[in-house]
Chains A and B, each alone.
Chain A
Amino acid sequence: MTQLVAEWRWWLPALTAAALLAACSRPGDEASLPTPQTVQVGGASGQELAAEQILRKGNGAEPESLDPHRAEGVTSSNVLRDLFEGLVTEAPDGTLIPGAAESWTISEDGRVYTFKLQPRGRWSNGDPVVAEDFAFGLRRSADPATLSEYSAILYPIDNAYEVVNGSLPVDRLGVRAIDERTLEIRLHSPTPYLLGLLTHSSTYPVHRPSVVKFGDKFARPGNLVSNGAYGLQAWVVQSYIQLVRNTHYWDNDQTVINEVWYYPVENAESELRRYRANEFDTTETVPNRQIPWLRKNLPAELHIAPYLGSYSYGFNTTQPPFKDNIPLRKALAMALDRDILVGKITGAGEIAAYSWVPPVTGYQNQQPVWATWTQEQRNAEARRLYAQAGYSAEQPLRMQLLHNTEINHRRLAVAMAAMWRDVLGVETEILNQEWQVFLQTRRTRIDTQVFRYGWIGDYNDPYTFAEILESKHGLNDMSYNNPRYDALLLEASREADPAVRMGLLQEAERVMLDDMPMLPIYYYVSKQMVKPWVAGYESNIMDHHHSRHFRILKH
């Protein structure tokens, strides 16, 4: 999944000015706002449904595609989650539950998964959903000719690496339809997070006859046949995507919402205004600088919850001054007062982080010892390490800190530089680059010293974070290289016992934290506004929401 990209830098002065002006006009306005307590929803019982079951969602950037095997962004995944159903799906709280598969068995070595399909499974045109649809979908997803930018997520499947890289034909992929209702997936090595992966759009089935008939136009309204709770009715680019109930869906009786409208709004401030004007029932995000106001005025509608993401800075460990310089890296890590950074600078309830892997289900959060110290103790130790690394007030460290252009990153960087200056006397030059340029600079692993490194996990498992620091991993822009770390990761990937595997991954993170190739700052939170009449919404770590679980209460 892509990092949260900072897009609209020319906006920022604009929004600042707008916010200032809006702030001036506020005192009188607040009185006229209906407070959440006075909005009576759900009639007498509190659960009475509204006559019109239409859900309107703000949805961030315009989805780049609704082809499940070519889409990659968060916002297209949001829509695809309503259109398609994987073998496994998610309950409102994010728990994995049977989706298109009614049940499954896992072989003892953890390498063969056999899925029994839902007997009532139907495509939106009424065709039955059969095992071959899934096998075809997975093969299409892995096929390099499909041009999927996400096919690497299929690597746990037997031969997937070879297929994606073109060295084996597509039919060698480890998937097989045993009969109409039985699908077998063979894995390369035990992958305890496979079930989580099967909620990802890259593993969705596609309706073969329409793919054959319409080619790359099969995901258009009128052409798209889907197997989820909704079908695609209309898609007006940059305007809206309209989904309507798929009456053939196997669990259609439980679905309440009749229509779902997704509205693209890149600008969070605009999204919030349209939400407040009751044009949206839910938002995709919330602008950080509005959070104090929302906390005060619409607290019941503001949902902030831990999210599967880590906000960090990486050290370039191939170049001086950070090459082989653990004391210096630790000194910089310790000298940051994270409580101030998340409390005063970011301010959306982000969780101060002392490690790389965020709170993933079943994983014990790892922390260096100094995480429990007071900031004074950390500063004292940081000064000692800084001196040990050969720096002093007369000979301070001069370094460059690089982030991608965005106001929130800038504010945080300025605060960090100030802390380093005050505690250690470090002179930091803060640089920023537009996203694409930033990615390229970071990737060189030469022209960087300290650089922003954020990551949103693809699946609810520590491995989606841990693998990045493996020495040969393509995204290891820190160039972190510790054979012990690599060995622990390899051992974990061969381990069939989930508890032992978690232990190995935890140990690997402890090893990494002792080397400090990166500087953890905070764990992300998801931020959403949800109208009081929307029932069935629950926050979850993946921030995945299926409209079929929602209801609109009378209001």
Chain B
Amino acid sequence: MTTTTMTMAKALNEGLRRAMEKDPKVLLMGEDIGKLGGVFRITDGLQKDFGQDRVIDTPLAESAIVGTAVGLAIRGYRTVCEMQFDGFVFPAFDQIVSQVAKLHKRSDGVYTMGLVIRLPFQGGIGAIEHHSESPEAYFAHTPGLRVVSCSTPNDAYWMIQQAVESDDPIIFCEPKSRYWEKGEVDLENPPLGLYDALVRRPGSDVTLIGYGSSVKTMLRAAEAAEAEGLSLEVIDLRSIAPIDLPPLVASLEKTGRLVVVQEAPRTASIGSELVAELTERCFYSLRAPGVRVAGYHVPYPPARIEEDYRPTVDRVLDAVDRVMGFES
């Protein structure tokens, strides 16, 4: 096994490089992704190596980035679109939900919408307004799309390649607060399929489920709980839509207690979906109602107070206490 240590940002860069080497039809499009290498440097050096026709610095128009990627897909190209920040995806929302999500269906399978829309998402980097949002539920709600999120450099390296290879359109959510954290990357063997959930830490008392930046928060909560004699199972969703339910059901049948963690606001969210699905499927195994630890129902706050908004280890542990407090 060849492993190497790198940041998530570098792992994404290497994954994109490998995807472009494997398939000459793979293009990258986005704002400032060429010479600059993207504001997060995810595409650093790729234009130099693959040329301006494959790594395209675009005019600043998100609807056009996605809208032209649709036309390129019809022509047989696979475009990875970079949205510079989560809060800037909304001009492209129309193209994503009206065309990207529907054209495979409308053409009776003739068109392959094999494009990837990369979305640096979630907060935690002290940024100003519109740079820290979690819009994943909008896309998860839309039939025709798939939504995934990586939480480690190894997943980033493999999932971006799997997303490029997929014939379905994929919203690829990158937890920007984890871009600079290092981890081992296995350069030979993909860990899992793109749509598989993964138990990051086994446990027996409570199941914690999350994705993106929340995975590390959940793991730290599990460590803290262990000191108090509680065993928490931590599951990384990886695929936000569709949700890989079987491993979640297996965990709930074991623990009977569910806490979901996300930065996005709680209402009509991925967490809501998880609690609903798992309540329906695991009703007789549950020993407490599922609890969501989430962002509050307010616009994302100024960064000086964002840590009071984002789920913390303490808030996760409070939720664990709540589900442990139910008598069965």
* Chains A and B form a bound pair: no
A contacts, CB < 8 Å to B: none
